[in-house]
Amino acid sequence: CRQYSGNNFYHSLVANTIVESCYVSNRTKEIGYVLPLYLYNDKEKQQQFSLLLQEELATGTRKPNIDLELFNSLENTFSKKLSPEEIFYYIYGILYSNIYRKRYQEFLKIDFPRVPITKNYKLFQKFAEFGKQLVDLHLLKSP
pLDDT given at position 33:
75
Low-confidence stretches of the chain (pLDDT beneath 70): 1-11, 21-31, 42-60
Contact by Cβ (8 Å): 130, 9: no
Burial (CB count <10 Å: 0-12, 13-18, 19+), residue 125: middle
pLDDT score recorded for residue 87: 97
* pLDDT value of residue 43: 63
Q: Supply the pTM of this predicted model.
A: 0.78
- Residue 113, C-beta contacts closer than 8 angstroms, at least 6 positions apart: 9, 12, 95, 104
Taking the alpha carbons of 118, 77, 36, 30 in that order, is the dihedral positive or negative? positive
Q: Which amino acid is at 78?
A: F
Mean pLDDT of all residues belonging to the chain: 81
pLDDT of residue 18: 81
